[in-house]
Amino acid sequence: MGKRDSRVDAYIAKSADFAKPILTHVRSLVHEACPAVEETIKWSVPHFEYKGVLCGMAAFKQHCNVILWKAALIPGGKGRDEKGQITNVRSLSDLPDDKTMLHLISEGARLNEQGVKPPPRRSVAKKTVSIPSELTAALRKNKKAAAAFKKFPPSHKREYAEWIAEAKGEETRQRRVRSAIEWIAEGKSRNWKYERR
């Protein structure tokens, strides 16, 4: 027999009025399709587990989403995207019909029983940061700044690189390099003045 979680009750109760019937209906379909399912809260939203994560649901200000973890592996699942999510649900009529939902959920449970893993997420190619030659030369001359710059996340490196590269005149470029080296040596990001303290 499945297991209900009072935190899911609380989540539904505090959701917007439009979302309550959607979440309640999805919950009942999950229990119907997989009677042994167990409810929990993951990533601050209700999830259902059966021999692994089966599905989840979330309410937002103006819509709900249903996440079917293995739906991408199940042929014939209408009303969902390639990741297995049913998005922008604003009313019960936006959900696939009950027969389709029950099929997707029960097939997901069957895949979990078999130990089938979801397809790997496509990795996003990391952007390389092109460092202006003036900054590279200045970093070679200042070991403290070079060490700090090496530890910076790519976003901080990119901010400095773009700031220097977008300088129109040589004088402005050199002034920015001098400021950058001073701030980098102190471990400051390019926009350190605007960071919360």
- Residue 42: CATH number of its domain: 3.90.1150.200
Domain closes at, from 54, 79, 113 = 113
Residues 96 and 21 in one domain: yes
| Per-residue pLDDT tens over the stretch 116-135 | 887 666 655 566 778 999 99
Domain closes at, from 83, 113, 143 = 113
Residue 176 pLDDT greater than 60, yes or no = yes
Are 30 and 54 contacting, i.e. CB atoms less than 8 angstroms apart?
yes
Residues 101 and 24 in one domain: yes
Q: Which stretch of 7-16, 99-108, 114-123, 175-184 has the lowest confidence by average pLDDT? A: 114-123
Which phi-psi region, left, alpha or beta, contains residue 88 (left: φ > 0; alpha: ψ -120 to 50)? Answer: left
Band of pLDDT at residue 73, cut at 50, 70 and 90: confident
pLDDT at 117: 81
84 in any annotated domain? yes
Residues 146 and 185 in one domain: yes
Residue 71 pLDDT greater than 70, yes or no = yes
- Structurally, how many domains does the chain consist of? 2
80 in any annotated domain? yes
pLDDT at 126: 61
Mean pLDDT across the stretch 57-86?
Answer: 77
Residue 173 pLDDT greater than 60, yes or no = yes
Residues 52 and 143 in one domain: no
Three-state DSSP state, 10: helix
Mean pLDDT taken over the chain? 87
Measured between alpha carbons, how far is 126 from 8 in angstroms, rounded to an integer? 37
Residues 109 and 173 in one domain: no
Residues 57 and 146 in one domain: no
109 in any annotated domain? yes
| Per-residue pLDDT tens over the stretch 19-53 | 999 999 999 999 999 999 999 999 899 999 999 99
Domain extent for 144: 133-192
Q: Which stretch of 18-22, 81-85, 177-181 has the lowest confidence by average pLDDT? A: 81-85
128 in any annotated domain? no
Band of pLDDT at residue 111, cut at 50, 70 and 90: very high
150 in any annotated domain? yes
Are 195 and 189 contacting, i.e. CB atoms less than 8 angstroms apart?
yes
Residues 76 and 45 in one domain: yes
Residues 83 and 150 in one domain: no
Q: What is the pTM of this model?
A: 0.59
106 in any annotated domain? yes
Domain closes at, from 64, 85, 113 = 113
